[in-house]
Protein backbone atom coordinates (compact mmCIF):
# COMPACT_ATOMS: atom_id res chain seq x y z
CA UNK A 1 0.00 0.00 0.00
CA UNK A 2 1.63 3.25 -1.09
CA UNK A 3 1.74 6.28 1.19
CA UNK A 4 1.91 9.91 0.08
CA UNK A 5 5.28 11.16 1.24
CA UNK A 6 7.22 14.40 0.70
CA UNK A 7 10.62 12.84 0.14
CA UNK A 8 13.96 14.58 0.56
CA UNK A 9 15.01 13.96 -3.04
CA UNK A 10 11.74 15.30 -4.42
CA UNK A 11 11.82 18.42 -2.26
CA UNK A 12 15.39 19.21 -3.22
CA UNK A 13 14.36 19.14 -6.87
CA UNK A 14 11.42 21.40 -6.22
CA UNK A 15 13.36 23.91 -4.13
CA UNK A 16 16.48 24.43 -6.21
CA UNK A 17 15.59 28.06 -6.82
CA UNK A 18 14.55 28.64 -3.23
CA UNK A 19 18.00 28.05 -1.74
CA UNK A 20 21.23 30.05 -1.95
CA UNK A 21 24.67 28.50 -2.26
CA UNK A 22 27.20 29.43 0.42
CA UNK A 23 30.63 27.86 0.53
CA UNK A 24 29.28 24.89 -1.46
CA UNK A 25 26.39 24.28 0.97
CA UNK A 26 22.72 25.19 1.27
CA UNK A 27 21.35 27.88 3.57
CA UNK A 28 17.85 29.04 4.37
CA UNK A 29 16.59 32.34 2.91
CA UNK A 30 15.50 35.03 5.34
CA UNK A 31 14.17 33.86 8.71
CA UNK A 32 11.05 31.99 7.56
CA UNK A 33 12.35 28.74 9.04
CA UNK A 34 13.48 30.23 12.33
CA UNK A 35 10.68 28.76 14.48
CA UNK A 36 9.86 25.70 12.34
CA UNK A 37 11.05 22.50 14.04
CA UNK A 38 9.35 19.92 11.77
CA UNK A 39 8.43 17.91 14.91
CA UNK A 40 12.09 17.12 15.41
CA UNK A 41 12.06 14.68 12.48
CA UNK A 42 13.10 16.83 9.53
CA UNK A 43 14.62 20.06 8.21
CA UNK A 44 12.90 23.27 7.18
CA UNK A 45 13.39 24.69 3.69
CA UNK A 46 11.66 27.17 1.39
CA UNK A 47 9.37 26.57 -1.55
CA UNK A 48 8.08 29.70 -3.32
CA UNK A 49 9.46 31.62 -0.33
CA UNK A 50 7.27 29.61 2.06
CA UNK A 51 8.63 27.23 4.73
CA UNK A 52 8.17 23.50 4.19
CA UNK A 53 9.39 20.42 6.05
CA UNK A 54 11.77 17.90 4.47
CA UNK A 55 11.12 14.87 6.66
CA UNK A 56 13.40 12.07 7.77
CA UNK A 57 12.99 8.56 6.37
CA UNK A 58 9.91 6.93 7.90
CA UNK A 59 8.08 10.26 8.22
CA UNK A 60 5.96 12.37 5.90
CA UNK A 61 5.08 16.04 5.91
CA UNK A 62 1.76 17.36 7.16
CA UNK A 63 1.93 21.14 6.96
CA UNK A 64 4.95 22.13 9.05
CA UNK A 65 5.01 18.83 10.96
CA UNK A 66 6.66 15.48 10.23
CA UNK A 67 4.30 12.57 10.94
CA UNK A 68 5.44 8.97 11.33
CA UNK A 69 4.39 6.69 8.45
CA UNK A 70 1.76 4.10 9.45
CA UNK A 71 0.94 1.25 7.12
CA UNK A 72 -2.77 0.84 6.50
CA UNK A 73 -4.31 -2.16 8.25
CA UNK A 74 -5.50 -5.41 6.66
CA UNK A 75 -9.16 -4.36 6.75
CA UNK A 76 -8.44 -1.38 4.49
CA UNK A 77 -6.38 -3.53 2.16
CA UNK A 78 -9.21 -6.06 2.02
CA UNK A 79 -11.73 -3.34 1.18
CA UNK A 80 -9.58 -2.13 -1.72
CA UNK A 81 -9.09 -5.70 -2.89
CA UNK A 82 -12.87 -6.20 -2.96
CA UNK A 83 -13.34 -3.03 -5.00
CA UNK A 84 -10.87 -4.33 -7.57
CA UNK A 85 -12.35 -7.83 -7.88
CA UNK A 86 -14.43 -7.29 -10.98
CA UNK A 87 -17.40 -5.74 -9.18
CA UNK A 88 -18.30 -9.02 -7.48
CA UNK A 89 -20.46 -7.30 -4.88
CA UNK A 90 -20.15 -6.86 -1.12
CA UNK A 91 -17.90 -9.41 0.55
CA UNK A 92 -19.99 -11.30 3.15
CA UNK A 93 -17.69 -14.24 3.87
CA UNK A 94 -13.97 -14.88 3.43
CA UNK A 95 -11.90 -17.78 4.73
CA UNK A 96 -8.63 -19.31 3.55
CA UNK A 97 -7.96 -21.33 6.74
CA UNK A 98 -5.46 -18.63 7.76
CA UNK A 99 -6.33 -19.09 11.45
CA UNK A 100 -4.52 -22.43 11.20
CA UNK A 101 -7.61 -24.31 12.35
CA UNK A 102 -11.27 -24.83 11.43
CA UNK A 103 -12.43 -21.53 12.86
CA UNK A 104 -15.62 -20.45 11.03
CA UNK A 105 -16.33 -24.03 9.92
CA UNK A 106 -18.47 -26.88 11.25
CA UNK A 107 -17.73 -30.46 10.18
CA UNK A 108 -20.22 -32.64 8.34
CA UNK A 109 -19.00 -36.21 8.59
CA UNK A 110 -15.23 -36.36 8.99
CA UNK A 111 -13.33 -33.13 9.66
CA UNK A 112 -10.67 -31.94 7.23
CA UNK A 113 -7.25 -30.91 8.50
CA UNK A 114 -5.45 -27.60 7.98
CA UNK A 115 -2.04 -27.82 6.30
CA UNK A 116 0.77 -25.41 5.39
CA UNK A 117 1.65 -27.17 2.14
CA UNK A 118 0.50 -27.03 -0.54
CA UNK A 119 -1.23 -23.65 -0.31
CA UNK A 120 -2.48 -21.30 -2.99
CA UNK A 121 -2.48 -18.09 -0.98
CA UNK A 122 -1.29 -17.22 2.52
CA UNK A 123 0.06 -19.84 4.92
CA UNK A 124 -2.65 -22.52 5.11
CA UNK A 125 -5.21 -24.51 3.13
CA UNK A 126 -7.90 -27.06 3.95
CA UNK A 127 -7.04 -30.74 3.38
CA UNK A 128 -10.11 -32.91 2.77
CA UNK A 129 -9.36 -36.65 2.90
CA UNK A 130 -11.97 -39.38 2.57
CA UNK A 131 -11.26 -43.12 2.91
CA UNK A 132 -13.67 -45.99 3.39
CA UNK A 133 -12.25 -46.87 6.83
CA UNK A 134 -12.93 -43.42 8.38
CA UNK A 135 -15.75 -43.10 10.97
CA UNK A 136 -17.92 -41.60 8.23
CA UNK A 137 -17.06 -43.57 5.12
CA UNK A 138 -18.77 -41.30 2.61
CA UNK A 139 -18.40 -37.66 3.68
CA UNK A 140 -15.62 -35.21 4.64
CA UNK A 141 -17.26 -31.79 4.39
CA UNK A 142 -17.69 -28.48 6.19
CA UNK A 143 -20.38 -25.84 6.41
CA UNK A 144 -20.03 -22.28 7.69
CA UNK A 145 -20.33 -22.18 11.49
CA UNK A 146 -22.83 -19.35 11.65
CA UNK A 147 -24.67 -20.59 8.59
CA UNK A 148 -24.31 -19.22 5.10
CA UNK A 149 -27.67 -19.40 3.37
CA UNK A 150 -28.68 -17.84 0.08
CA UNK A 151 -31.90 -15.84 0.03
CA UNK A 152 -34.29 -16.63 -2.81
CA UNK A 153 -34.26 -13.90 -5.46
CA UNK A 154 -30.93 -12.40 -4.31
CA UNK A 155 -27.75 -12.33 -6.43
CA UNK A 156 -24.54 -13.85 -5.06
CA UNK A 157 -21.07 -14.70 -6.27
CA UNK A 158 -18.78 -17.46 -4.94
CA UNK A 159 -15.05 -17.68 -5.69
CA UNK A 160 -12.71 -20.39 -4.47
CA UNK A 161 -9.54 -22.30 -5.29
CA UNK A 162 -9.28 -26.09 -5.16
CA UNK A 163 -6.92 -28.88 -6.06
CA UNK A 164 -7.70 -32.55 -6.75
CA UNK A 165 -4.69 -34.32 -5.25
CA UNK A 166 -4.95 -38.06 -4.58
CA UNK A 167 -7.84 -38.69 -6.93
CA UNK A 168 -7.61 -41.90 -8.95
CA UNK A 169 -10.05 -42.36 -11.82
CA UNK A 170 -13.26 -43.95 -10.55
CA UNK A 171 -16.44 -44.88 -12.38
CA UNK A 172 -18.38 -44.15 -9.19
CA UNK A 173 -19.32 -40.46 -9.01
CA UNK A 174 -18.79 -38.01 -6.14
CA UNK A 175 -19.49 -34.39 -5.24
CA UNK A 176 -16.52 -32.07 -4.74
CA UNK A 177 -15.27 -29.48 -4.11
CA UNK A 178 -18.64 -27.91 -3.21
CA UNK A 179 -22.41 -27.90 -3.51
CA UNK A 180 -25.29 -25.56 -2.77
CA UNK A 181 -27.40 -27.78 -0.53
CA UNK A 182 -31.20 -27.55 -0.50
CA UNK A 183 -32.91 -27.21 2.90
CA UNK A 184 -36.20 -28.93 3.80
CA UNK A 185 -38.82 -27.31 6.01
CA UNK A 186 -37.68 -29.63 8.82
CA UNK A 187 -34.75 -31.98 9.34
CA UNK A 188 -36.74 -34.00 11.90
CA UNK A 189 -38.99 -35.83 9.44
CA UNK A 190 -37.02 -38.01 6.97
CA UNK A 191 -39.98 -37.94 4.60
CA UNK A 192 -39.52 -34.18 4.20
CA UNK A 193 -36.19 -34.45 2.42
CA UNK A 194 -35.44 -32.66 -0.82
CA UNK A 195 -34.16 -35.64 -2.81
CA UNK A 196 -30.86 -36.39 -4.51
CA UNK A 197 -28.40 -33.50 -4.59
CA UNK A 198 -27.57 -34.42 -8.18
CA UNK A 199 -31.02 -33.38 -9.39
CA UNK A 200 -32.30 -30.98 -6.70
CA UNK A 201 -29.28 -28.81 -5.80
CA UNK A 202 -29.24 -25.44 -7.57
CA UNK A 203 -25.67 -26.36 -8.61
CA UNK A 204 -22.67 -28.45 -7.57
CA UNK A 205 -19.28 -29.66 -8.74
CA UNK A 206 -19.17 -33.34 -9.64
CA UNK A 207 -16.50 -35.85 -10.67
CA UNK A 208 -16.79 -39.18 -12.47
CA UNK A 209 -14.27 -41.25 -14.40
CA UNK A 210 -11.72 -38.74 -15.73
CA UNK A 211 -14.16 -35.82 -16.00
CA UNK A 212 -15.06 -32.86 -13.79
CA UNK A 213 -18.57 -31.48 -14.24
CA UNK A 214 -20.59 -28.46 -13.19
CA UNK A 215 -24.16 -29.66 -12.63
CA UNK A 216 -27.20 -27.39 -12.37
CA UNK A 217 -30.76 -27.97 -11.16
CA UNK A 218 -32.42 -31.06 -12.63
CA UNK A 219 -29.10 -32.83 -13.22
CA UNK A 220 -28.24 -30.70 -16.25
CA UNK A 221 -24.56 -30.49 -17.17
CA UNK A 222 -23.60 -26.86 -17.76
CA UNK A 223 -19.93 -27.77 -18.31
CA UNK A 224 -17.66 -30.80 -18.26
CA UNK A 225 -13.96 -31.16 -18.95
CA UNK A 226 -10.84 -33.15 -18.06
CA UNK A 227 -10.34 -33.78 -14.36
CA UNK A 228 -7.08 -31.89 -13.74
CA UNK A 229 -5.06 -33.13 -10.76
CA UNK A 230 -2.24 -31.77 -8.60
CA UNK A 231 -2.71 -28.17 -9.72
CA UNK A 232 -4.64 -25.26 -8.28
CA UNK A 233 -7.85 -24.38 -10.13
CA UNK A 234 -10.03 -21.32 -9.61
CA UNK A 235 -13.78 -21.09 -10.03
CA UNK A 236 -16.37 -18.34 -9.85
CA UNK A 237 -20.14 -18.78 -9.79
CA UNK A 238 -22.58 -15.87 -10.16
CA UNK A 239 -26.17 -16.86 -9.44
CA UNK A 240 -29.70 -16.11 -8.28
CA UNK A 241 -31.69 -18.97 -6.73
CA UNK A 242 -35.36 -18.85 -7.66
CA UNK A 243 -38.40 -20.99 -8.36
CA UNK A 244 -39.26 -18.69 -11.27
CA UNK A 245 -37.89 -17.51 -14.58
CA UNK A 246 -35.60 -14.90 -12.99
CA UNK A 247 -33.19 -17.55 -11.71
CA UNK A 248 -29.77 -17.86 -13.35
CA UNK A 249 -26.35 -19.46 -12.89
CA UNK A 250 -23.07 -18.42 -14.54
CA UNK A 251 -19.85 -20.41 -14.21
CA UNK A 252 -16.17 -19.45 -14.73
CA UNK A 253 -13.11 -21.67 -14.41
CA UNK A 254 -9.61 -20.21 -14.36
CA UNK A 255 -10.99 -16.86 -15.52
CA UNK A 256 -12.88 -18.24 -18.53
CA UNK A 257 -16.67 -18.10 -18.62
CA UNK A 258 -17.93 -21.57 -19.51
CA UNK A 259 -21.70 -21.21 -19.47
CA UNK A 260 -24.93 -19.64 -18.28
CA UNK A 261 -28.33 -21.17 -17.63
CA UNK A 262 -31.51 -19.23 -16.88
CA UNK A 263 -34.80 -20.12 -15.23
CA UNK A 264 -36.00 -22.12 -12.26
CA UNK A 265 -33.25 -23.68 -10.12
CA UNK A 266 -35.13 -24.67 -6.94
CA UNK A 267 -38.17 -26.90 -6.43
CA UNK A 268 -39.70 -24.58 -3.86
CA UNK A 269 -41.21 -27.37 -1.71
CA UNK A 270 -39.79 -30.38 0.11
CA UNK A 271 -40.95 -34.01 0.20
CA UNK A 272 -43.80 -33.08 2.56
CA UNK A 273 -45.05 -30.34 0.27
CA UNK A 274 -43.84 -27.63 2.64
CA UNK A 275 -41.83 -24.58 1.49
CA UNK A 276 -38.11 -25.18 1.44
CA UNK A 277 -35.85 -22.99 3.51
CA UNK A 278 -32.94 -21.08 1.99
CA UNK A 279 -30.16 -23.28 0.52
CA UNK A 280 -26.72 -23.28 2.12
CA UNK A 281 -23.06 -23.60 1.15
CA UNK A 282 -21.18 -26.86 1.74
CA UNK A 283 -17.74 -27.94 0.56
CA UNK A 284 -15.49 -30.99 0.63
CA UNK A 285 -15.91 -34.55 -0.64
CA UNK A 286 -19.21 -36.46 -0.65
CA UNK A 287 -19.12 -39.94 -2.21
CA UNK A 288 -22.63 -41.30 -1.73
CA UNK A 289 -21.96 -44.84 -2.97
CA UNK A 290 -19.61 -45.36 0.01
CA UNK A 291 -22.51 -44.74 2.39
CA UNK A 292 -23.73 -48.34 2.36
CA UNK A 293 -22.20 -51.71 1.61
CA UNK A 294 -21.84 -51.90 -2.16
CA UNK A 295 -19.40 -53.58 -4.53
CA UNK A 296 -15.91 -52.10 -4.26
CA UNK A 297 -15.24 -49.05 -6.40
CA UNK A 298 -12.06 -48.42 -8.34
CA UNK A 299 -10.42 -46.59 -5.41
CA UNK A 300 -10.63 -46.30 -1.63
CA UNK A 301 -9.26 -42.79 -1.15
CA UNK A 302 -10.05 -39.21 -2.10
CA UNK A 303 -7.96 -36.13 -1.28
CA UNK A 304 -8.86 -32.55 -2.11
CA UNK A 305 -7.32 -29.20 -1.09
CA UNK A 306 -9.39 -26.00 -0.83
CA UNK A 307 -8.19 -22.42 -0.30
CA UNK A 308 -9.32 -18.79 -0.51
CA UNK A 309 -13.10 -19.16 -0.27
CA UNK A 310 -15.08 -15.93 -0.73
CA UNK A 311 -18.79 -15.14 -1.00
CA UNK A 312 -20.19 -11.84 -2.24
CA UNK A 313 -23.71 -10.45 -2.28
CA UNK A 314 -24.76 -8.20 -5.14
What confidence tens digit (pLDDT) does each residue in 252-284 have? 999 999 999 999 999 888 888 888 889 999 999
SS3 138: coil
All structural domains of the chain? 8-68 (no CATH), 77-313 (2.60.120.200)
pLDDT at site 49: 66
Spatial neighbors of 130 by CB under 8 A, at least 6 apart, are 110, 137, 138, 139, 140, 285, 287, 290, 301, 302, 303
pLDDT value, residue 224: 95
Give this prediction's pTM. Answer: 0.71
CA distance 125 to 61: 42
Using omega within 30 degrees of 0 as the cis cutoff, is the peptide bond preceding 177 cis? yes
The model's pLDDT over 138-182, given as tens digits with 9 standing for 90+, comes to 999 999 987 789 999 999 999 999 999 999 999 888 999 999 988
Amino acid sequence: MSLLRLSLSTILLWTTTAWLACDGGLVEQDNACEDVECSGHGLCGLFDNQPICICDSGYHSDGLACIEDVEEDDDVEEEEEVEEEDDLGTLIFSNGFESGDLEDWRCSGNCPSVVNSPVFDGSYAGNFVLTRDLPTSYRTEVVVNEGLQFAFGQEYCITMVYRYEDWAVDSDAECGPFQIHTTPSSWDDPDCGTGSAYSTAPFLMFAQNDLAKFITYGGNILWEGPLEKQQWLTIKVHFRISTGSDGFIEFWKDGVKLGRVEGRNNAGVDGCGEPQREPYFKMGVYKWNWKVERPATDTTRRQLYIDKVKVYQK
